[in-house]
Chain A
Amino acid sequence: MNKNLYIPTPSPYDPDKNGHFGKYGGRFVPETLMPALEQLRLDYEAVRFDEGYWSEVDYYYKHFVGRPSALYYASNISKEIGAKVYLKREDLNHTGAHKINHCVAQAVLAKRLGRKKIIAETGAGQHGVATATVAALFGLECEVFMGAKDIARQELNVFRMKLLGAKVHSVESGSKTLKDAMNDAIRHWVTHTRDTYYLIGTVAGPHPYPMMVRDIQSIIGWEAKTQLQEAEGSLPDKVIACIGGGSNALGIFSHFLQDQSVECIGIEAGGLGLDSKHGCSLTKGSPGVLHGQLSYLLQDEDGQVQEAHSISAGLDYPGIGPEHSYLKDKGVVSYDYITDDAAMEAFVWLSQKEGIIPAFESSHAIAYLKKMKDIKDTIILVNLSGRGDKDMMQAKDILKDQFI
């Protein structure tokens, strides 16, 4: 077997055949969708360790996405905080974030299954743009569901999706963000389940999506581990990633979870603070069922889902992928949060110190470098999951007084 070819390996944290990670995960969907999910489970299992499938995916990773993504030693911020900071540059991928990884791999699967139509939900628009991109590449019809509030704050990504040939549905119900976009994507899928592939954009939703997207995204940690070995001859001490649904985090964590010396830390959106509005489902939520899965959830005393808040549309979600809930309860990964304000400071900090403008989402992971204690001389690996181009309009508005 080609050792340069990424193929997932079975994980000790794999779910059972009904998709349960411990008590989390599962398939809580209307009966109409159950046959499609069961079929997708079998279809994915057939390719999960198949060299032919992953070779096809790898071709597009190399020539279309630009993988492997660079591992960059951020010397200026390293000097400032006294630790060695390595950035895994998923921001350099085609379309500007890690989302393209699971879009390429799922589109290759959809094509193999003979599906002609794909749908997706999107928060910040990164997953929507990446889905629209692979739809164009593979000649698939594409519809994207996006909350009206997100459409307003991410208008450039909306235009990108349309330019790429996708139809964008503005979702006006509920909080008008990612949660409601996913509701409408599910409603569309229930109606068109016979001919449509639902390309879920994170490690959430009903089984097999959480496992499948985690498998796909784990190429990030697989590459980073080798790259860091070459650079430092060792493992990192800490691995940091931001969490909305949790795909970039599981992507970089998975290959380090069995290394006892490595601490993996997921950073949730602290929004306006934990006593105010935020997106900290793990820190402040409790187990509940939304979007086909059982996982930590922001909810009230009656089990009504509460609205999340984050400056970054990609983290503005009241739930989280079920594997994260499982890893939290088992104490395998630790979780913390970063507020909107701290994320914005880090956004400016990385831009000015390293010449890298991070996405608002990734700025949460960067900000954690300053929040951590006792990190002198440690090696820290940060997943720079996306670039900030999509956030320019919003940043310009927020930072207008700082940069006139």
Chain B
Amino acid sequence: MKKLVGYITTGFPDRYFTIDLAMAMAEAGVDTLELGMPFSDPVADGPVIEKANLQALNSGFKLDHLFEASAKIAPHIDTLWMGYFNPFYHKGMDNFIAKAKETGVNGFIIPDLPLEEAKPYKPSIEAAGLSLIDFIAPTDTKERIKEIVTDAKKFIYLVAYAGITGAGKSEDLQPIIANIKKYSDTPVYVGFGVNTHTAKDKAEGVDGVIVGSAFVKVLLDDTLNNMQKISKISSIAREIKEKINI
């Protein structure tokens, strides 16, 4: 069965909602939850996730809210923190490792921390039994793919196209997938631009998909109340899970 990883922006529209939403997503078949840490300058993200990040910050999001929400969510679903590197650096990676252990979070996804810069941190993260997810981009050379995936743990985050999250782009990933599989048995999940329309195609040849903007778009929809948002996101999750496993 192919896996579904779901990203949501923590604290948006508010932190209590995040907990309810996470529980509903777990029930709807989401296998792993990426709890997004809102950041002031999310350069890998498109306008949808950027907007949710900035609105969460404007309405008072603090890292403590992430930790509180995680303690409630992580016992029910495999949970990762997805965030830009500066808060990790500023608070200290050791602090984040300790908080993850305390709340039951299983690892980190940090899109602006490539292999070379991750080196000082990866050993202590893994020694604590946590994972730091590795990215592969369609621009990567064979040599670089080999270097990155050889030690990859949990899953490999394959970026579906050169671009930012939520763009309507696609690239032929089969040669890259073949390259990854040559050097690693770690599951490969594809992310960026995955929604109910694209999920089936994007899931071809990989072990799972990562969905972000398609969920966050619903969070940003002012015409829906919180109950409606949760039920719509749940139904999108169910539909995608079904489509990738046909």
- A302 to B39 Cα, complex, angstroms: 9
- A183 to B86 Cα, complex, angstroms: 15
Chain B residues near A173 (CB, 8 Å)?
50, 54
* Cβ contact within 8 Å between A303 and B41: no
Q: How far is the CB of A371 from chain B (nearest CB, A)?
A: 32
Q: How far is the CB of A20 from chain B (nearest CB, A)?
A: 9
Q: Which of A24-43 contact B (CB under 8 A)?
A: 26-36
Q: Which of A1-54 contact B (CB under 8 A)?
A: 18, 26-36
Question: Does B89 interact with chain A (Cβ within 8 Å)?
Answer: yes
Question: Does A395 interact with chain B (Cβ within 8 Å)?
Answer: no
* Cβ contact within 8 Å between B163 and A191: yes
* Cβ contact within 8 Å between B140 and A294: no
- A289 to B85 Cα, complex, angstroms: 7
Say whether, besides A31-B137, A31-B140, A35-B144, A288 and B54 are in contact (CB < 8 Å).
no
- A33 to B167 Cα, complex, angstroms: 17
Q: How far is the CB of B194 from chain A (nearest CB, A)?
A: 16
Chain A residues near B159 (CB, 8 Å)?
30-32
Q: Which of A30, A174, A288 has the most CB of B within 10 A?
A: A30
Chain A residues near B42 (CB, 8 Å)?
183
Q: Which of B145-165 contact A (CB under 8 A)?
A: 148, 159, 162-164
Chain A residues near B85 (CB, 8 Å)?
28, 289
- A287 to B164 Cα, complex, angstroms: 26
- Interface contacts (Cβ under 8 Å), in number, total 117
Residue of A nearest to B163 (CB): A191
Residue of A nearest to B116 (CB): A18
Question: Does B233 interact with chain A (Cβ within 8 Å)?
Answer: no
Residue of A nearest to B110 (CB): A28
- A349 to B113 Cα, complex, angstroms: 47
Question: Does A78 interact with chain B (Cβ within 8 Å)?
Answer: no
Q: How many residues of A contact B (CB 8 A)?
A: 38
- A302 to B90 Cα, complex, angstroms: 7
Q: How far is the CB of A363 from chain B (nearest CB, A)?
A: 28
User: Contact check: which of B62, B63, B111, B141 meets A30 at CB < 8 Å?
Assistant: B111
* Cβ contact within 8 Å between B90 and A303: yes
Q: Which of B137, B141, B148, B167 has the most CB of A within 10 A?
A: B137
Q: Which of A260-288 contact B (CB under 8 A)?
A: 286-288
Say whether, besides A28-B112, A187-B43, A303 and B89 are in contact (CB < 8 Å).
yes
A290-317 near B? 1/0 per residue, CB < 8 Å: 1110100101001111000000000000
Q: How far is the CB of B216 from chain A (nearest CB, A)?
A: 15
B residues near A (Cβ < 8 Å) are 39-44, 46, 50, 54, 57, 62-63, 84-91, 111-117, 135-141, 144, 148, 159, 162-164, 167, 169
